[in-house]
Chains A and B, each alone.
Chain A
Amino acid sequence: MAKEIYSMYPRVKYLRKEALPTALCPGCGGGTVLNAFANAVDQLKIDPRDLVVVSGIGCSAWIASPYFLADTLHTTHGRAIAFATGVKVGLPDKKVVVISGDGDLASIGGNHLIHAARRNIDITVILVNNFIYGMTGGQVAPTTPFGARTTTSPYRNIEHPLQISETVAAAGASYVARWTTAHVYQLIESIKKALTVKGFSLVEVISQCPVQFGRRNRMKEPADMLRWFLKDSVPISKARNMSPEELEGKFVIGELVNRERPEFTEELNKLIDDVQEHFGLREE
């Protein structure tokens, strides 16, 4: 029965069949993200042998690792980007992609995120923001909306959420975009751009976790959460003319940054060439 379902999915060739079915809950936005990523890879005709996918720890870290059939490095909590940095320096001609959660990449791993953006190393990060620590049972995250309920903010969250995309854009990334799982086609286009841009790119995906977040915030069904995303999303062009008060609690979607800056591994290799030239050490 299950086998039939897989064989009907045209992107199944990109998945590690022996690892299926996925561990994600039914209705989790993670499935949409995996689908969007597989479609982006397919549309760009990227050979999976030219891909290395790195992830941290959490539900979202499972999206592409182990399921995506590429070289996959499943690392410690928060450190995926730092591991990916070593991979990219070793394999500058491959596409190195990090897919992980908001807690993983922006809380425990926040330092690596901003510094990779500053360095502008050519890594694509797909950050799945579900406002919660899903895997550990729904604790408050640095992305949890002000006032929301979680297992460790049972009365209400009194902290303000981190604006991840804005922070990464300010840190110096080449490409930054934010979409939601209710904007699938835009998301695919955005991942495609992120994969082609030279330099650090971040696609933040607002995603539903009906099980840990929705359930405790009056959105038990996945569709409730998708309706919320659609209702509260504001395109970036419109957001530019809105006051901070008007934007409170809204999801600004679209491309925040798309620019060219010198890329880290290219600069590193140029430096090595220059030094070898200078000291007369070039091997002919």
Chain B
Amino acid sequence: MIIRGDEPEQIRLLRKPYKKGNYFMQGNEAVAYGALFAGCRFYAGYPITPSSEIAETMAKELPKLGGYYLQMEDEIASIAAMVGASWTGFKVMTATAGPGFSLMQENLGYAVMTETPLVLVDVQRSGPSTGQATKGAQGDFFQARWGTHGDHPIIAVSPTSVEDSFWETVRAFNIAEKLRTPVVVLFDGISAHARERIRIPDPEEVEVTYRKLPANEEEAKLPFGDPHGDGVSPMPLFGHGHFTHVTGSTHKENGLRDVYTPEVHDRLVRRIHRKIEQNKHVYEKYDEHFTDDAEILVISWGVSARPSLGAVLNAREEGIKVGLFVPKTVHPFPGERVRELSKKARAILVPEMNLGQLILEVQRFVNDDVLLKGVNKVGGVPLTVEEILREIRGVA
């Protein structure tokens, strides 16, 4: 069994068309190159602004590396094809925006239930509905968390810049492979279309991981078992004579459906949750700036994290003791660290391009005596340094 895209010759192959060095490119292109370097060799998607350049870049580059680009009839088909391809041993990705993300939700739940590794990039745009189709936003924070039905864990990462989107996409693949689970990349229309300098590394510099394959026939017969106690089942691939049965219905360790025994459902759903909880070290990530002595804390994510940093740097020059906390993995939310930081803080500001989403997660970990305030902006234009700085001064 082989995970395609991880063969040693792929390093040589990657080196030929993509020389290491500095490039000037769009966030969407950086996501695509991140995926290629992470070993993605199958992309199925349906065009939607502001994500389409990811599809276009993949269509252009994948064949060079022996990979497959499929433009499907819609988003539902796209994620379905990804799941099918993932079970044959591909690292797979799609990219979409809000309306397409909504269409993908049912099969995202299917991927959670069948523990299928895949990467789904949501380039957030302004909604609800078709909203401002060409403008960026951060309104899908909770769609990523709760968009599909049932009790399920989800992992979502969120890049803050063009360069960061390359590395966060690589990280999303590594998490998906290590934990055999779908991972959402919450990107945004502003960083997606911004052009910045980015350094394309040598492929050897990029950490790339493989999903765990069954060590023997016994493990292959239990595609939903937990032989290593880490909650992660080795994944037998289709086409290798294991007669694997995969279903989105409640199933036993051997894959066969059992929707009548309460214990079977309880055991399966709890293991899928436990797998995420007990492997925090695989995905938890946040950045901190000046948090040591911060009396005021700014907590911001994605595209809003950069103007937030600008505002914090300016406020520091003015002598205000303010720090910045940026969750890079936004789901599960790094709440424990926020709880610790909030003990020293008088006030917490949460800048984001929506009417208040991340702030609800923050609120769960903050005591009542801390002043908690959102800095919110909608309309498709990013928050500015000045707007955030004004709010910092207001609570200083």
Interface residues of A (CB under 8 A from B): 16, 18-19, 48-49, 52, 54, 65-66, 69-76, 79, 82-91, 94, 111-112, 115, 268, 271-272, 275-276, 279-281, 283
Interface residues of B (CB under 8 A from A): 9, 12-13, 16-17, 42, 44, 63-68, 70, 72-74, 76-78, 80-90, 92, 106-107, 110, 238-249, 256-257
Pair B77/A90 contact, Cβ less than 8 Å = no
Task: Please give, as numbers and ranges, the residues of chain A lying within 8 Å of B106 by CB-CB distance.
Answer: 76
Smallest beta-carbon distance A262→chain B, Å? 16
Pair B44/A281 contact, Cβ less than 8 Å = no
Smallest beta-carbon distance B191→chain A, Å? 29
Q: 9 A-B residue contacts at CB 8 Å? A: A71-B242, A83-B84, A86-B70, A87-B84, A87-B238, A89-B68, A89-B88, A90-B84, A90-B238
CA–CA, A70 and B94, complex, Å: 28
Smallest beta-carbon distance A102→chain B, Å? 19
Pair B243/A86 contact, Cβ less than 8 Å = no
CA–CA, A192 and B106, complex, Å: 34
Smallest beta-carbon distance A128→chain B, Å? 19
Pair B64/A276 contact, Cβ less than 8 Å = yes
Task: Please give, as numbers and ranges, the residues of chain B lying within 8 Å of A272 by CB-CB distance.
Answer: 63, 66-68
Which single residue of chain A is at the shortest CB-CB distance from B67?
A272
A49, A82, A90, A281: which contacts B90 (Cβ < 8 A)? Answer: A90
Task: Please give, as numbers and ranges, the residues of chain B lying within 8 Å of A280 by CB-CB distance.
Answer: 16
Pair B84/A66 contact, Cβ less than 8 Å = no
Task: Please give, as numbers and ranges, the residues of chain B lying within 8 Å of A52 by CB-CB distance.
Answer: 238-239
| Known contacts A71-B244, A75-B110, A111-B74: A83-B16 contact under CB 8 Å | no
| Known contacts A70-B243, A71-B238: A89-B70 contact under CB 8 Å | yes
Smallest beta-carbon distance B252→chain A, Å? 10
Which single residue of chain A is at the shortest CB-CB distance from B7?
A283
CA–CA, A74 and B255, complex, Å: 11
Smallest beta-carbon distance A137→chain B, Å? 17
Smallest beta-carbon distance B161→chain A, Å? 30
B64, B65, B84, B243: which contacts A69 (Cβ < 8 A)? Answer: B243
CA–CA, A65 and B257, complex, Å: 10
Task: Please give, as numbers and ranges, the residues of chain A lying within 8 Å of B257 by CB-CB distance.
Answer: 66, 74
| Known contacts A52-B238, A66-B256: A86-B86 contact under CB 8 Å | yes
| Known contacts A73-B87, A79-B76, A79-B77: A276-B245 contact under CB 8 Å | no
